[in-house]
Amino acid sequence: MKSQVYTPFILALKAHNLTVEIHHHSAYQIVLSNDNPFTSTINGKLHKHIDGFLIKPQVPHFCVAEKGTLNVLNIEPYSHIGLQLAGQFAENQDYIVFSTPSETNTFFQTANDSLSITNIIQALLAQLPTSQYDERVTIITEYIKTNYHRQDITPQTFVDIIFLSPSRLASLFKQQTGSSLSKYLLWTRLRQAIYLTLSEKERSLTDIAYETGFYDLPQLNKYMYEMFGMPPKALKQNSDLIQVY
């Protein structure tokens, strides 16, 4: 028996009146206007009154959207969706700018001309080949969804659950999800840490780090900055980040 695997490899945020400092990160990022055009500097080039952009990992950028709302999607570069996005770039192209909503809609092939986050994600998923996943991979992903907070999870933990060799399990998981088990676990933890940071701002970041499976706050800081270009403290103090999808 096989079933579809839930993927944590897309983190979507909604923000308003947003101004962020120049930064870069490991994830692919899609930033789209939810209402008014905004301004962004990408790789040192200024783009005014745009509808959105898609950037590769490690491309320096910052945004100014003082009178509008932005949708921000971060995507694991080695997931199937990340690999699909990589194919959208021309040779030596680091980013793609969308000047108008119609350009954005055409690029993402969204249904009903709607640029909502849900439709964007559905459009991204629709471009992937339809596939069913091995039951053993499903067992592992369900285990991670339930137990991501445990700090004692190791590669041997997964081997003991489904009785595959470490090399065979790693190969099977990467083949079916596009990424590694360690990245899958990391994204699951980061998503929950960001959700708690934004929804329970009175809680200490140290408590959130422990609750979501990190050894300590410095480890959470390290991975969040590496993946998304900002530490959890920046999220907590910036009330303009208003929603995790």
C-alpha distances (whole Å) from 138 to each of 5, 7, 17, 26, 110 are 6, 11, 40, 26, 29
Mean pLDDT of 219-239: 84
Name the token pair of 187: 């994204």
CATH of the domain at 184: 1.10.10.60
Select the more confidently predicted residue: 110 or 99.
99
The band of 3, judged by pLDDT with boundaries at 50, 70 and 90, is very low
Task: Looking at the structure, tell me whether residues 110 and 185 fall in a common domain.
Answer: no
Task: Looking at the structure, tell me whether residues 62 and 170 fall in a common domain.
Answer: no
Question: Is the CB of residue 135 less than 8 Å from the CB of residue 2?
Answer: yes
**Domain-embedded: residue 244:** no
* List of residues 6+ apart from 140 with CB closer than 8 A: 158, 161, 162, 169, 173, 181
CATH of the domain at 60: 2.60.120
Share of the chain above pLDDT 90, in %: 55
Last residue of a domain, one of 65, 95, 126: 126
**Which amino acid is it at 223?**
Y
**Domain-embedded: residue 4:** no
Q: Which range is least confidently modeled, 14-28, 136-150, 220-234?
A: 14-28
Last residue of a domain, one of 126, 161, 191: 126
Count of other CB atoms within 10 angstroms of residue 81: 23
Select the more confidently predicted residue: 146 or 129.
146
Structural domain boundaries enclosing 180:
135-230
Domains of the chain: total: 2
Query: The tokens 């091995």 sit on which residue?
Result: 134
Mean pLDDT of 173-199: 91
Select the more confidently predicted residue: 111 or 223.
223
Task: Looking at the structure, tell me whether residues 111 and 203 fall in a common domain.
Answer: no
**Which amino acid is it at 218?**
P
Question: Is the CB of residue 138 less than 8 Å from the CB of residue 5?
Answer: yes
Last residue of a domain, one of 104, 126, 148: 126
pLDDT of residue 124: 85
pLDDT of residue 35: 85
Mean pLDDT of 67-78: 88
Task: Looking at the structure, tell me whether residues 158 and 224 fall in a common domain.
Answer: yes
Q: How is the chain split among helix, strand and coil, in percent rounded to 5?
A: 45, 25, 35
For residues 92 and 213, give the distance between their C-alpha atoms in angstroms, rounded to a whole number.
Answer: 38
The band of 243, judged by pLDDT with boundaries at 50, 70 and 90, is low
